[in-house]
Amino acid sequence: MSVHTFVATGDSIISRRVSNRTDKAFLDLVELIQGADSAFTNLEIVTPREPWVPFSEYGGLHLGSPAFILDELDWMGFNLYCAANNHSVDFTYQGLVDTMAELDDRGLAYAGAGMSLGEARSPAYLDTPVGRVGLLACASTFSTSAQASASRPDMGGRPGISPMRYVTHYELDAERLAAIKEIDETLGTDVVTRKMRDWLRDDAPDAYKFVNLNFKEGDSVGVRTQPREDDLEDIAHWIAEAKRRSDLVVATIHAHEGQNGDLNTQDIADFIVPMAHRWIDAGADVFVGHGPHTLRGVEIYKGKPIFYSLGNFFFTIATLHRYGSEVYEQHKLPPTATPADVYESLAYDEDGNYKGMEGDPQFWRTVVPVCRFEGRKLLSVDLHPVDLGYDLPPTQRGIPTLSNHEEGAIILENVQQLSEPFGTGIRIESEGDRVVGRVRID
């Protein structure tokens, strides 16, 4: 039986050409990707055709780029794409439809978006010399307007993404919950809530709803999340379908969510782990997470690899082409401001130092896992550390290269720590002037 090599990366926010680069650390990474039978990335940028129409709801910035970026990713060896994320409709539904058309024109396999919910839920298939790959993609982080809708006999569906929604409740002790109820009754908002519950779907009927939040009494205090059962099982249904029609199944989600309602952290929201397990049980051979722009842990579950987040892969936001007016207003910039002003507003503090993601090295470090399968049996997982150029000038940052020995060891030691709660062992070994992480799979 032939061995299938699968490579995965996290978020590709790519805004410029890279195929003209000559630096060895980049070209060695390209060679790694091109050497795989199947290679996945999250396309976290759309390629709208003219005229670009920015949407009023967007994922922090309008992420759009000319369609040549797809040629760059194709040249690098990527042949599997996630099209579901919180930037999918940054340029309205038409921008997403344009992006799908550009992917279709190039014969690139993508999943997670479609002209209706049925299309967005459906697997994409990639035929390789060593077998057929099925790809399922969805997002838990998105604006409500991004969701695809189902077609009906009397009404067509809406273009959009495949949603994986979750339910949040706030767990309090009896005394604090009683105080919430008293405030609710004093304000009179409890009456409004009861009226709304009479005619709207209620995702948490056993919770006490206050200001549209779900509260429950519990032994501990905290923010709890759980996957919405209908989305969970609908996607599991399509994973099972893909297993019947392909030799290897990849399930992927764009999920920024962390603990206590926080975003973009290395902590994993409660709903994500049981969701990943459910989809492996349904037939996925590998689970790839992305979204929080930082690494999260690795788990081997029932002999299948789970990468809870692979962080950033391309992060060239300093050279994005243009934004809608709302972005300038968000940063309190005048009408004469330019895209460079937007970047400097989000990247630098008043003293000229990097801030936020721009100033945190963890957002500029990632790994590229190389998984080898014989049939559906996992043979090995190697983690190759990658550096996105944290110390480089803005115009050169955000392009991935294989890390040197010192930087690579730092990255892999972080992944070791993040993976310990899952009982995952990762051995760091030298390979020439670089290092690689060998994941224990037994």
d(CA 46, CA 66): 8
**pLDDT-based confidence at 367, cuts 50/70/90?**
very high
Above 90 in pLDDT, residue 89?
A: yes
Sequence ranges of the chain with CATH classification 3.60.21.10: 3-151+229-439
Mean pLDDT of 54-75: 96
**pLDDT-based confidence at 442, cuts 50/70/90?**
confident
Fold held by 3-151+229-439: Purple Acid Phosphatase; chain A, domain 2 (3.60.21)
| Structure confidence by residue, pLDDT tens digits, 26-61 | 999 999 999 999 999 999 999 999 999 999 999 999
Q: How far is CA 309 from the centre of its chain?
A: 7
d(CA 80, CA 82): 7
User: What tokens appear for 195 in the block?
Assistant: 């009226």
Q: Are 177 and 217 in contact (CB under 8 A)?
A: yes
| Structure confidence by residue, pLDDT tens digits, 194-226 | 777 666 666 777 889 998 899 999 888 999 999
| Structure confidence by residue, pLDDT tens digits, 378-413 | 999 999 999 999 999 999 999 999 999 999 999 999
